[in-house]
Structure 1
């Protein structure tokens, strides 16, 4: 018989609906039973694309003997971390304090008042390789609860107090200065891997935000070493196995230092953040390879991760047919059977497909260990001809790969992750001159605005198969406000700026910490947990406070609303300790800091943005890397939107039908550049 999870919408929870474990979703029924029976809670948190979550399910949660012990001794609750990041943050911090590390599946034992007293991540069913067996853990924890409860309760109480302190003392009285950003860049330079790119050793994560910080520092001081870190890292990643060379898009991370063997799951947020990084480095260098990677990643999202309703799906699994990576890997005879002997030989030589293989069981992960110029020289071919031929080969292999059984997909739509993708698509539309990306960003934005709001107009967090649910978190509001500002700067439809302002007003009303500065992760009327967490550190996604600060600075510069700028400064001050002590976990904070402290241009284009020559001038502008600017455009004769009246005041008249551009700082403006020649010269000076 299915358990209670059968009534849920989360694909992760539905994966466990037939477990013999008597799972509850998080909610009053489970919490009240725990209190009534004085039984501790076994809380298991994971997500649908998590490989080790699948392993623990098969080994332990499908094991009748283990399930019987869990059911007898605990109230068992299963949580999708993507639906409930509020719970995940609190209890992940607890596990990290207890064990020194974190990850998923996360396994935490709670008192009936929800305080954690023991936890870990993956445990095998029986002891092996220095890890205790899960059944032994279950029995030991139950014994402690039954026979030494006072100690468990005391430990839980102390742990909860420790958790409350996380983020509480991160503010500092020091002034906000760019020295913080320079210190971060020094740290990143020390951690840089000069051979393979990236930071540190295996496993290697993309760190796209850190790369964007380095680009901003380079734009200020023109230090070529900083630009090299960015270009070398992104080049190595794009050539590595972490990148899908047939369909585009990036896997979650690389298990080795060479970017060769990925953990094959694909996450929407990684691909959104990396798209932004590749777009910016293309703007900075004009290297078409970076543009190609950004384009292919966007096309992957539009082709495989977009819902008919307009939003973007969350993840693709690492596993298919029970094997990690099976969908993606190849053997030489498979390739030659498709491409023919000679073409197959050339492709295998370029993409490191060998009889021995570079992965498990003689399979190979496609990657480019050598530059294409070197491969062409070895094969005695022209590089341009080889590139065209390999592109044809990739398309033929992709068509065959699409007949394989695809990895499972988590098709729920999360506001925060969708916002990251909308932001990148809106930017990509201008940088790559691709209208499809703007249309996708607009459609997704309209979907979120219409389908993921409660009756009172507040945001909801997630949607699946026609049903939206769960009150939105700080990430949802902050990411979406930032995305809609980017969407306005791509299509100049002031509705998106007005909607971004509405989101920021909700942030200030329901999430702000009036005393300590910054924002709580949950609203003031959210379900009461053991405490309200304040999200200050970047994790796999930007911290909510950092993105709120970014959106508020941009919106403050566009609208002239000083309240927004003050709130952004307050959020950055609240996170000063993070920027000082753990700068490599503060990439988005530094992006916001750079935008706040370095002079930022308010650019006003007067002309019809949908027709020549204004449209042509805007296309040229959008290809330039100008990280410290906001952009508004207005067609003469049109009504000025209220949200833009302070910025556009006195600038809206046409002059002989020619486009004009005003460059302002703090709403003090220079004389406008008028006409195509003058505006092109202005673009040159700006970027």
Structure 2
């Protein structure tokens, strides 16, 4: 019998619709139920492609005895963190504050008024050293609620008060003396990054290692401004090592979420839209700066992955592919005798015997050497994640072997797909595909970006406001947050530049102005939620970039691009003020302010506003320019009243004489590749 999650649009919530747990979605009625029954709320937060979320669900939420205890003693609420990033943000802060670490699944116990008093992440079904079982936790919390309720409620109120005080305090960008947003600050940020750079494997820090997309963009823009080869070298080495490691799918393209080691060898196998959209753009910009053929191949393969594996029938892009799949029948059982339960990475890894079964003997041995598949293996049970330390000498043989292995792998059970469409992440994909399509002269990529934009316009924009998610063309109930507005606007502005369609410029402007009115904070920045959004313990306001740009840095970037395209002084002023608030974080730890730094580089550069009038032969060359933040259009306000053919390079709508030769365009815009 299905529970209350059966009518939700979130694939993650629907995964739990048949649990014996009497789950509620996040809604006022759930808290009213807890108040009426005088029991605490058990809040469980995760997402569809989360490996440990699946593990805890199988071990505990599918267990009848555990579920019966949960139903008797708690009101249980299940939240998809990707649908409700505001809820996730607030209670993740609690979890980190109470336990010293965070992660998913996140388990938080609340009073009926939503005040947290105990938190954790994954709890096992049986006790482990230093960790009680989930049943023990449930029993302890329930007992404490029954015997020490006043103390618990007081503790929860105190935690809620401190969260509210933190929300009202100045942001990290507002503490201390003002920091000047200039080249010296950005040079210092790059020095910080260089001190944390792994000179052998690329990336920053040790294991686990995440793709540093936003930091890479900052470094590329820093190189374009300063000519500092160290900045470019850090990006080039990191991108090369990632593209040759197991984090990259060596058969069909696309990146996994992160590497569990420092060498990019063994990934956490889930593939996220937001990672691949951002990495597509980084490899595109690396290719634009260097002409690197490996970067070009990754661009093409990542774009192909987005279109083949993540595109929905409605034209949007799905959120993720799961980390888990049922292993092939020839996979050895694990120590517990399990061989046909979904396990992490099962679709992707290979043994020498599996290569031999798929290929003729000569190709099998060649492929094992090429992809570093050994009897020892790099993953579990003697299996290996495919890596590609060097390009093969025989390109035709490589293509044939890859195609055969890809077809063999396609016949295996495949990871599930989280097919909800998240507005923010689709904005990232639209921007990447539109820009890549223009530079690589691939109209199919641009058309895919346009179709995704149409879906957002027709489904996600409701009464002039953005909704966060949709699924199967049905819009979800959750309102958009700041990064939705910022990333969608940025995608639409990229699409306008490539297609010349004014409707995308106008829609971006409308969304930006809604957010400027509804999300604004008194200090010149913005909150993550609108002033009329559902009330939480505090109004979230994240300043750090994590897997995606923070709402504030994403919004500032879109504001600046819109100002460059339209000449709007108000939008530029808002961008400057917001990045100014993030400057202290950039000065303190640039790893978490990469996008803010990239926007700051564009501010220092102008950015250039380029109108191509009557010279289609120079349009692609103008787009190959590397000057940070450059906008290039063939239609719109920048092209008005310019009857003389040429490439007009402007700043603040003040233009130089039109460039009419390729050499002039290269000199003005820093284009390093031939058109």
How far did 1:674 drift? Answer: 2.9
2-structure distance, mates of 1:115, 1:577: 31
State the partner residue of 1:464.
471
State the partner residue of 1:10.
10
Aligned residue among 501, 513, 534 for 1:505: 513
State the partner residue of 2:267.
262
Whether 1:309 and 2:314 are equivalent positions in the alignment is yes
State the partner residue of 1:629.
630
Correspondence 1:32-43 to 2 at 5 A: 32-43=32-43
How far did 1:598 drift? Answer: 3.1
2-structure distance, mates of 1:144, 1:178: 56
Report the secondary structure of 2:553's partner residue: helix
The answer on whether the counterparts of 1:317 and 1:409 sit within 8 Å (CA) in structure 2 is yes
State the partner residue of 1:22.
22
State the partner residue of 1:56.
56
Report the secondary structure of 1:78's partner residue: strand
State the partner residue of 1:117.
117
Q: How many residues align?
A: 652
State the partner residue of 2:282.
277
- Give the 3 Å change call, closer, same or farther, for CA 175–114 of structure 1 in structure 2: same
- Give the 3 Å change call, closer, same or farther, for CA 435–649 of structure 1 in structure 2: closer
Report the secondary structure of 2:511's partner residue: helix
How far did 1:684 drift? Answer: 5.6
State the partner residue of 1:674.
660
The answer on whether the counterparts of 1:60 and 1:134 sit within 8 Å (CA) in structure 2 is yes
State the partner residue of 1:170.
172
The answer on whether the counterparts of 2:605 and 2:627 sit within 8 Å (CA) in structure 1 is no
The answer on whether the counterparts of 1:617 and 1:680 sit within 8 Å (CA) in structure 2 is no
The answer on whether the counterparts of 2:6 and 2:14 sit within 8 Å (CA) in structure 1 is yes
2-structure distance, mates of 1:413, 1:389: 38
2-structure distance, mates of 1:675, 1:596: 27
Structure 2 gap segments, 5+ residues each: 327-341
State the partner residue of 2:333.
none
2-structure distance, mates of 1:357, 1:572: 46
- Give the 3 Å change call, closer, same or farther, for CA 182–679 of structure 1 in structure 2: closer
1-structure distance, mates of 2:503, 2:395: 44
Higher relative contact order (CA 8 A, sep 6+): 2
- Give the 3 Å change call, closer, same or farther, for CA 63–631 of structure 1 in structure 2: same
How far did 1:681 drift? Answer: 5.9
Report the secondary structure of 2:468's partner residue: strand
How far did 1:150 drift? Answer: 2.6
Which deviates further from its counterpart, 413-422 or 214-223? 214-223
Aligned residue among 361, 371, 375 for 2:390: 371
State the partner residue of 2:65.
65
How far did 1:602 drift? Answer: 1.3
What's the CA shift string for 1:314-369, capped at 9, x where partnerless? 1111111111111011122222332211112111111011222221112111102x
2-structure distance, mates of 1:235, 1:109: 44
Aligned residue among 601, 618, 627 for 2:608: 601
State the partner residue of 1:568.
575
Report the secondary structure of 1:673's partner residue: coil
The answer on whether the counterparts of 2:214 and 2:595 sit within 8 Å (CA) in structure 1 is yes
State the partner residue of 1:429.
437
Structure 1 gap segments, 5+ residues each: 377-382, 608-613, 635-640
2-structure distance, mates of 1:277, 1:260: 20
Aligned residue among 454, 459, 469 for 1:446: 454
1-structure distance, mates of 2:510, 2:445: 25
Report the secondary structure of 1:230's partner residue: helix
2-structure distance, mates of 1:404, 1:14: 24
How far did 1:226 drift? Answer: 1.7
How far did 1:680 drift? Answer: 5.8
Correspondence 1:199-218 to 2 at 5 A: 199-218=204-223
Aligned residue among 552, 563, 581 for 1:556: 563
The answer on whether the counterparts of 1:169 and 1:577 sit within 8 Å (CA) in structure 2 is no
The answer on whether the counterparts of 1:247 and 1:398 sit within 8 Å (CA) in structure 2 is yes
Whether 1:346 and 2:366 are equivalent positions in the alignment is yes
Using the size of structure 2 for normalisation, the TM-score is 0.93
2-structure distance, mates of 1:459, 1:81: 18
State the partner residue of 2:334.
none
How far did 1:683 drift? Answer: 5.2
Report the secondary structure of 1:109's partner residue: strand
2-structure distance, mates of 1:538, 1:685: 29
What's the CA shift string for 1:601-624, capped at 9, x where partnerless? 1111111xxxxxx33322233234
How far did 1:133 drift? Answer: 1.3
Which deviates further from its counterpart, 71-80 or 138-147? 138-147
2-structure distance, mates of 1:676, 1:262: 43
What's the CA shift string for 1:401-433, capped at 9, x where partnerless? 111111111111111111111111011112222
How far did 1:679 drift? Answer: 4.5
Report the secondary structure of 1:674's partner residue: coil
State the partner residue of 2:617.
616
- Give the 3 Å change call, closer, same or farther, for CA 358–680 of structure 1 in structure 2: closer
What's the CA shift string for 1:550-569, capped at 9, x where partnerless? 01011112111111011112
State the partner residue of 1:99.
99
Aligned residue among 649, 657, 674 for 1:663: 649
Structure 1 residue runs of 4 or more that deviate by more than 4 Å after TM superposition: 675-687
The Cα RMSD (Å) is: 1.8
How far did 1:307 drift? Answer: 0.8
- Give the 3 Å change call, closer, same or farther, for CA 459–628 of structure 1 in structure 2: closer
- Give the 3 Å change call, closer, same or farther, for CA 459–197 of structure 1 in structure 2: same
- Give the 3 Å change call, closer, same or farther, for CA 581–36 of structure 1 in structure 2: farther
The answer on whether the counterparts of 1:626 and 1:686 sit within 8 Å (CA) in structure 2 is no
Whether 1:581 and 2:583 are equivalent positions in the alignment is no
2-structure distance, mates of 1:436, 1:578: 39
1-structure distance, mates of 2:666, 2:226: 24
State the partner residue of 1:327.
347
Correspondence 1:132-143 to 2 at 5 A: 132-143=132-143
Whether 1:197 and 2:197 are equivalent positions in the alignment is no
2-structure distance, mates of 1:668, 1:11: 50
Report the secondary structure of 1:558's partner residue: helix
What's the CA shift string for 1:96-155, capped at 9, x where partnerless? 111111110000011111111110111112210321211111122222222222322232
1-structure distance, mates of 2:150, 2:505: 55
1-structure distance, mates of 2:397, 2:104: 42
The answer on whether the counterparts of 2:466 and 2:479 sit within 8 Å (CA) in structure 1 is yes
1-structure distance, mates of 2:561, 2:607: 9
